[in-house]
Structure formats: structure tokens, C-alpha cells
Structure 1
Amino acid sequence: MAQSASFLRNQFSNYFWLYTLAGGLYTIGMGFLVSRMGPVGAVAAIGAPIALLIVGLILMEPRFGLFVYLQLVFIIGFARFLPTSVPVGVLIDGLLFLILFSLFFNGQRMEWYRLRSPAFVLIGLWFLYTVIELLNPEAPYRPAWFLHVRAFSLQWFLVAMMVLVIPITRKDVQVMVNSWLGWSFFAALWGFKQQYFGLSQSEWIWLNSGGNAITHMLFGQLRCFSFYSDAAQFGAEMAGATLVAITRVFEEKAVKNKLFFAFLALVYFWGYAVSGTRSALFVMVAGFAFYLLLKRDIPKLVTGVVLAIPLILLLMFTSVGSSNYQVQRMRSAMTPLNDPSFILRLQNQAKMRAYLQDLPFGAGIGTSTDGGARFSPWHWAAHIAPDSWYIELWMETGRVGVTLYLLMLVGIVGLGIYQVWQLKDPWMVKVMYGFLAEFVGIAVMGYSNPVLGQFPTNGIIYISTMLIATCYRWDSRPATKPVVLDQHQSFVPAL
């Protein structure tokens, strides 16, 4: 130890002049930035060394990059508090390609044979289809393809590759789960701050720009959005976290653990309530029903149905709690045909059906929503709001594309069921039940909101689906030896 300390002191002394010169140049450069750019320059002065350190760590260890990605999909929500706009999508893309470069840079340590996973094959086929869509003759402006293909398939393809080939440990999985639940808890608290203490100046500016007030101030009531992109995204994440916490209440044996997750479930559920996102209710309804089926536990299935049916009937056929805005929003989700916005969605879908009748491959990726408004505002797809992830896919990739996408989702769920049913490790079973149920719930919500293509939900889904598909990697007491491809030979049992 003494020799190591002496060595470090000698090295520092020998290169003291270099460190002094570098520090002086950095100080002068950052001083120039602050004088020219003000607060933005100050942020750059502080952030540049941190960014360089993170880049270096990612190049040395791709696993660290995956952790950074998981945190970043939540952190980017704070971009609205910055004095200048930040291209968060480009930032995410840059991080993913940096991690991809690190994978090849550290290629000898990576488990490349796992890319033969059936789940990755499904995602790869969908990605290939979206690449072929670049040649769609109906696309009015081809460069717009890159704007939407990132959320459609590219980012999922890249993250799936990373989760598979990086030698992730059981402890890494635990860190990912805790990170998600921790960020969700913080987001719920932020939502409560908005609901009960009011919005900050930056949040008011966001609310009053781009028509956000129209969708987030209904009948004088705020739909809280926390630090997420919007209230729908916030509600979906809160509903998903509620579902995961509820599954842990059922799965945990110790009373203190049950109480802890019950507390989290209450916090997350009220976070969902203050978001006013009606469709997020189906994340919990569909996800919990799937969880009970996944358990193959008849008593718990009957108990869940007995508890759920009275609550649904109470919302559908009574006016109990209607004086509470959040309860009334949940009630309206159960009677969509009485909702003018839902009827408008059906009318828009009828219009799209007429346009797409002779377009089996759609109007081209990048023609609707923000891409269409920016690059082809004259096109019909830019003038019809899809209001749904699957409808957006239908518009841009056609009935062929949306069918392929849905088959991919069903295939991933089927593979997940098979892998989870093989697990014997109690903790891993709890985690994967929650992940799989949440994925199904979010997939159901995709009919009414584009949450599958927005952060942080899509980042969580990209990671969790691959964790589910290869959960046998961390099963300490495997029932059977699942078949995988070894990197040196054909199909062999995994050790």
C-alpha cells in the first residue's frame, strides 16, 4: 500500500507541470464560455468534465453505459427546466451508439452468441421491415424516416443487443429494478408537488406553449405530468409501477415486505390518479389479469376477480365518488362511448381507413404527428391525429407493418411466459412476473396512447423484455437447462 502511494506521488510530481497546464487551459476556456454564453456556459463548464468522465467509463465498461441509459431516460424529462432547448432524442441516440462502439471495443468479453435469442430475432425482423420502409414509394419526404424509425424500432434493436451481449449479473438486474422503482417514486412525489403546491415557472411556460394547456387543464383541473413528457406518459408509468408493486405484495412472504410494497402501490396509484390519464387504468386491469393467469393459481385468480368486478361495476353503474375529479376521470374510462374525445378518435380512424385502403405498407415512416407537421405538412397523414401508438404504426407502416409489430409483441410475451415458467429462483420469479405483467398492460394501453414510443416507458420496455427473454441467466436453481446457442457450437444446454 505504501509503495503504491509513493508511486502515485512520484507520478504526480513528474507530471505536475502537465496537470497545471491542463487546469489553466480548462479554466481559461470555461471562463470564456461563461462570459460569452452566461448560464448556459456555466452549465457547460460544469458538465464537460463529467461528460468526458462518463464517456471514458462507458468505453471501458459497456455495462456502465446501460446503467447511464436507464437513468437518462428519466433525467431527460428535466430538459424543460433548462434555459435553452436540448435535443434529447439526439442525446439518447448518441449514448446508444457510444455504447454500441464500446461493445465492439470490448468485444472479447461480450456474449455475442446470445444474439441468436428468438426474442432478438423477432425484434430484428421488425427492424428490418422498418428499414425496408425507407423505400416506400408513398413516402412524401424520405429523410423524415429517421425521425420516427428511432422510436419505432432502432432504439429497441440497439438496447436489446446490449442487454443480451453484456454479461449482466444478478446484482445488475436488482440495480435496474431499484432504479426504476426509485425514479417512479420520485416522479410521484413531483406530481404531488404539482397537484397540491403548484407548478414552477418553467412548468407554467411549458403548459402555456404548444397547446399543452388544452390537454392538461380540463374543466379547471390540472392533469399532473411530473417531470415526464406529458400527463399520459406520467399516468402510464405510475400505473405500470403500481402493477409491479401489487404483484410484489402478492409474491412477498415477509409481512414487512408486503407492507413496504403496499405503501409503494398506494403512492404510485395516487400518482396515476392525479395524472388524470384514463386509459392508464387498463395497464393495471389488463396487467393484473395477466399476472393472475401467469400464476396459474386458481384461488388467487378467483380472489382477484371477486375484488375487481365490484370496483368496475361501481365505476360503470353508480355515481359514487363523482365529486372527486380523479375518480370521475377513472369512471369515464369505463364508458368510452359517452366520451366525445373517444368518438372523435373513432371518426379519425374511419378517415384513415379510407386513405389506407390501397396502401398496405402505409404512407411512409415519418409522415404523421411531429414528423409530418415538420417535413410534409401538405400530406393527409399530417392532418389526422392518430392518438394511439398502433394507429400511428398503421398510418406509417400500413396493415402489414402493424400486423408484424403486433405479432412481435405476442411472440415476446409467449417466449416470456415460457422462460418465466421455467424459473425456480424465488426473487427472480417475483421480478419477472412484474416485468411481464407490466409489459402486457402497457401493450394494451398502446391502443389509446403512444406511450410505447416515449421515454421513459419505452426505455424500460426495451430493457425488461430482453431480461424476461433471457431470465434463465440468473436462475440460481434452474428446473431445466434451457436451450441456447453456445458461442463455439450448435444448440447445447446452458450451464
Structure 2
Amino acid sequence: MSSNLRSNQFWLFTLLGGIYTIAVGYFVSKLGVPGAVLTIVAPIALGLVILVFMEPRWGLFLYVQLSYIIGFTRFLLVQLPVGLLIDGLLFLTLFSLFLNGQRMEWTRLRTGAFALIAIWFLYTVIELINPEAPYRPAWFFHVRPFSLHWIIVACAVLVIPLTRRDVRIFVNTWLIWSFMAALWGFKQQYIGLSPAEVVWLNSGFNARTHMLFGQLRCFSFYSDAAQFGGEMAGVTLVALIRVFEEKTLPKKIAYTALTLVYFWGYAISGTRSALFVMVGGFAFYLLLKRDVLKLVIGMVLSVPLFLLLMYTSVGSSNYQVQRMRSAMTPMNDPSFILRLQNQAKLKAYLADLPFGAGIGTSTDMGARFSPWHWASQIPPDSWYVELWIETGRVGVALYIAMLVGLAGIGVYRVWQLKDPWMIKVMYAFLAEFVGMAIMGYSNPVLGQFPTSSIVFISTMLVASCNRWDTRPALSGPVNEERLLVKPKPYGAI
């Protein structure tokens, strides 16, 4: 019987191999190099689709990877629609949740955090019928970073029975990708740009925003220097918090090294507003700690640094230091003054539009679908200003209320934790989220990959962190991975 089964398998695999070989020859002869790429990618994609169908958590892991890989499209001869691939992956993951519904923890959707995101999503759906929208189909493009991706990711993170190991994988993936991004930025700064990067720099307005006074603002493999700087500032904050939270010297040394690498990655990006990710996020971390002594020490150490940047010229010969210094004196910066002037113009346009001009009317989608409209002709230069243009003062107020609510829920959850490892991870997540929310005033990083993906996942991990909480042992050294079994009540089976 077994010999017949092996024989049948042999003929089946032989048949499939022959069909695949014929298909490879056909696509290569018809499409050339793209056909060869297609025949290699298609089986891998099919295998990944099957994995997501079988286990939806694979959808989340792949979502994070694609959020970083999307930056490499500038190196490809053939532009792949990675953004649409991410959309498809998220909907595939959502379908897999229902397909594996019996194993999912649907009751976790009854949380305040998910309710906040659902209300915001519902508002953006209602925006579809905004009568002020000059081209309503553009809604489908901008609703994705606004709310659609967030509600799908929130649903997946909450209902999938994730483990502590999954959380650890997410954290390590984030740090590893960020480390590689920093190294790529160092390559751009100290070795030079690749031909594909030179082509990108010379297209559109990229040279104007990334070459200032003969100095390159490094962008690594991210969409632009602002995104790179924001991400580097965020992981600098995360690594620095781990330096304070780790108990063993080797781990402190390792995270100190990572902090220095990430910080210099932020410095070479020339993104001034990213400084406030670290400043605001670290201040929030000290408040989370509820340690008055550390809060006072942090203020004592930071105030002289700010005074040094604001009122002296120490280090001005270094371009990166000078860029940081200019962030402390925005009224001396022509670009900041121009932003204020643009916001004054927008205030006049939006005075009678409480619900905005409609989602998809500003930035790239506005320039593509309604270039004649005023909303597409004034650059927002800010995530909140972009929301203000497209969803009005009602929308931006609702969005900010959602962020504040998520931060408040996160603080409550983190303060209830007992597990040492989970506490330090959630401290870092929450502080980084607050820092990124502050940076959103000056840059649209909250709506760009990979920052948006990290924020969407981390906020839901923080909001549901109590499901991984375990009390440390009462005696002996603390083992972060030890799970203590709670005693059953008397008479329990």
C-alpha cells in the first residue's frame, strides 16, 4: 500500500514539475525578465497565501515585513504595487480570521480601544458621502492609512491568540529592520548613493527636500528622510528605555550600543521634528514610571542640553548638530514660517467646512485626481493638517481624541502589569506611540509605512497587554519567561 502511495506521489510531483516547467518557458518567452520573476514569485506567494489561510498570525508577521520591503521598490526595474499587496494581505488575514473563527478570541473586541478605532473608522466611511469632495473615488486611496488598515490590524491583533513569543518576535523584527535601515543610511552618508537612489533623488522635488546647503538628508530604504528620521528617533527611544529597564550589564551594554546607532541614524536624516519623538516620548516614559526622582534627574539633565542648543553655537560646525539646533528656534526657520502661512490660508478655506473637503483631496491623491482644487494646491506638511483638510475640524478633533483615549487606556493597562519583561516592553511601545503622535504635528509619518504599521500593532498590544501578564516568583531570581500557575479555588476540578 505504501509503495503504491509513493508511486502516486512520484507521478503527481512529476506532473506538477512538468506543468511548472512549461509555464516558466511560456512566461519567459512572452514577458522576458518580468516573466521569469513572476514564475519565481508566484509559487512563493501561493505558499504564503496558504500559510495565512491556515494561521492568520502569519498575516500580521508578513504585514510587518512588507511595510519595510515597500521601501525597496525604488531599486526595482519593474515597479511592483506593494501597497496593493499590503491591502490584499490585510483582507486575506481578515478572511482567515473568520475561516478560523472557532479558534479566535472574539470577546476581546469588546474593549474601549477597539471602540475608539471603530468610531473613527465609521466617521471616515461617512466621509465617503461628503458633498464637498471634488472626486469621490479618491476616498478609496486615502482611507487606507487613515483608518482602514488600523481597524483590520486592530481586529487581528485582538482576536488572534498571540503569545509572548509572538510579541517578542514583533519587537525583535522591528529592532532588526531598524538596525539595517541605520546601516543603509550610514552607507548613503559615508560611501554614497546607489544609481537607483540618485535617480530617485533627481526626480520630482526630492532633491529640493533632501539636498540642503550641499548636505544630503539620508533616507535609507524608507520613503523619505522624514520617515527615516522619525523611525530612527522612535527606536532610539525604545532602545534607551530598555537601557534603563534592563537589570543585567550585558543587556544594558547591548541596548546602549543600539541607542547610539539609532541616534546617529536619526542625526544623518536631518529631520528636526523627529527630535520631539525622543523628547516627548522620554518625558512620557518618566511619567509612566511615576518615579519623582528620575523625573527630576531627567529634567536636570535635559534642560542644560536645550539651553545649549537654543542659546549657544557649540557644535554648529557639524551639520547634524546645527539641524537639531534649528528645531529649537522654529520662528527663525523660513520653512516653518511658510507652514504657518499655509495654515492661515487653509483656515480661511475651511472656515465653513466642518467636515473638510473630503478624504483624498490633498497631497498626492489630490494632485492626481483633483489638481484644480484648492485642497491639492496647498501642502499640509503635517499629518494633523492633512486630516484637517480632508475630514475637517470635526474629524481632526475626533482623531486626536482617539489618540488621547488610546494613550489613556495604555497607561491604565501598563500600570496594572506585574510581569517585569512585559512592563518594559509596553513602556517602550507606549512612549514611542506618544512621541510619534507629537511628531505628527510637523510630518505625516503616522500615515506612512513602516511607522503606521508599527503604531497600529503596538497600540493594540498595549491595550490588551494584560492577557500576557504573569506575576513574578515570590522568592529567588525573576525569570521573565516563567509562567506561574494560579491556584484553583477550593473545590475546583
Partner letter of residue 107 of structure 2?
Y
1:10 is displaced (CA, Å) by 5.0
CA contact (8 A) 1:40 1:83 kept: no
1:52 pairs with one of 46, 49, 65: 46
1:373 corresponds to 2:364: no
Partner letter of residue 390 of structure 2?
E
CA contact (8 A) 2:420 2:472 kept: no
User: What residue number does 1:312 align with?
Assistant: 306
State how far apart, in whole Å, the 2-side matches of 1:37 and 1:332 are.
52
**Deviates further, 358-367 or 85-94:** 85-94
2:77 pairs with one of 83, 87, 103: 83
User: What residue number does 2:19 align with?
Assistant: 25
State how far apart, in whole Å, the 2-side matches of 1:282 and 1:379 are.
33
User: What residue number does 1:435 align with?
Assistant: 429
User: What residue number does 2:209 align with?
Assistant: 215
Q: Deviations over 1:45-82 (max 9, x none)?
A: 21111111100010000011111111111111111111
CA contact (8 A) 1:423 1:478 kept: no
1:265-280 equivalence runs, <5 A: 265-280=259-274
Q: SS state of the match for residue 377, structure 1? A: coil
State how far apart, in whole Å, the 2-side matches of 1:12 and 1:388 are.
62
Q: SS state of the match for residue 70, structure 1? A: helix
User: What residue number does 2:291 align with?
Assistant: 297
Give the TM-score, by structure 1 length. Answer: 0.94
State how far apart, in whole Å, the 2-side matches of 1:25 and 1:445 are.
53
CA contact (8 A) 1:361 1:399 kept: yes
1:146 pairs with one of 106, 118, 140: 140
State how far apart, in whole Å, the 1-side matches of 2:297 and 2:195 are.
47
1:469 pairs with one of 431, 443, 463: 463
State how far apart, in whole Å, the 1-side matches of 2:300 and 2:258 are.
23
Partner letter of residue 243 of structure 1?
L
User: What residue number does 2:335 align with?
Assistant: 341
Partner letter of residue 37 of structure 1?
L
User: What residue number does 2:251 align with?
Assistant: 257
Partner letter of residue 33 of structure 2?
P
1:198 is displaced (CA, Å) by 0.5
Q: SS state of the match for residue 442, structure 2? A: coil
Q: Deviations over 1:423-479 (max 9, x none)?
A: 010000000000000000000000000000000000000000000000001001299
State how far apart, in whole Å, the 1-side matches of 2:173 and 2:286 are.
26
User: What residue number does 1:355 align with?
Assistant: 349
2:180 pairs with one of 186, 189, 201: 186
1:157 corresponds to 2:151: yes
1:114 corresponds to 2:108: yes
1:217 is displaced (CA, Å) by 0.7
User: What residue number does 2:126 align with?
Assistant: 132
User: What residue number does 1:14 align with?
Assistant: 8
CA contact (8 A) 2:308 2:314 kept: yes
2:419 pairs with one of 418, 425, 436: 425
State how far apart, in whole Å, the 1-side matches of 2:343 and 2:389 are.
10
User: What residue number does 1:406 align with?
Assistant: 400
**Deviates further, 29-38 or 53-62:** 29-38
1:123 pairs with one of 117, 129, 132: 117
1:41 corresponds to 2:32: no
| Change over 3 Å in CA distance of 1:22–1:422 after alignment to 2 | same
1:87 is displaced (CA, Å) by 1.7
CA contact (8 A) 2:73 2:79 kept: yes
Partner letter of residue 17 of structure 1?
W
Q: SS state of the match for residue 354, structure 1? A: helix
The number of residues matched between the two structures is 473
1:234 pairs with one of 212, 216, 228: 228
**Deviates further, 83-92 or 34-43:** 34-43
Partner letter of residue 320 of structure 2?
Q
User: What residue number does 1:389 align with?
Assistant: 383
State how far apart, in whole Å, the 2-side matches of 1:163 and 1:234 are.
25
State how far apart, in whole Å, the 1-side matches of 2:425 and 2:50 are.
32
Q: SS state of the match for residue 15, structure 1? A: helix
Partner letter of residue 410 of structure 1?
V
In structure 2, list runs of 5 or more residues that go unmatched: 474-493
1:358 is displaced (CA, Å) by 0.3
User: What residue number does 2:237 align with?
Assistant: 243
Q: Deviations over 1:4-59 (max 9, x none)?
A: xx95x753421322221211111121122223323222221211111111000100
Q: CA RMSD in A?
A: 1.2
Q: SS state of the match for residue 188, structure 2? A: helix
CA contact (8 A) 1:422 1:478 kept: no
State how far apart, in whole Å, the 2-side matches of 1:158 and 1:10 are.
46
State how far apart, in whole Å, the 2-side matches of 1:12 and 1:317 are.
80
Partner letter of residue 153 of structure 1?
S
In structure 1, list runs of 5 or more residues that go unmatched: 1-5, 480-495
Partner letter of residue 453 of structure 1?
G
State how far apart, in whole Å, the 2-side matches of 1:132 and 1:124 are.
12
State how far apart, in whole Å, the 2-side matches of 1:203 and 1:37 are.
26
Q: Deviations over 1:372-423 (max 9, x none)?
A: 1111111100100000000000000000000000000000000000000000
Partner letter of residue 368 of structure 1?
S
State how far apart, in whole Å, the 1-side matches of 2:66 and 2:142 are.
20
CA contact (8 A) 2:150 2:456 kept: yes
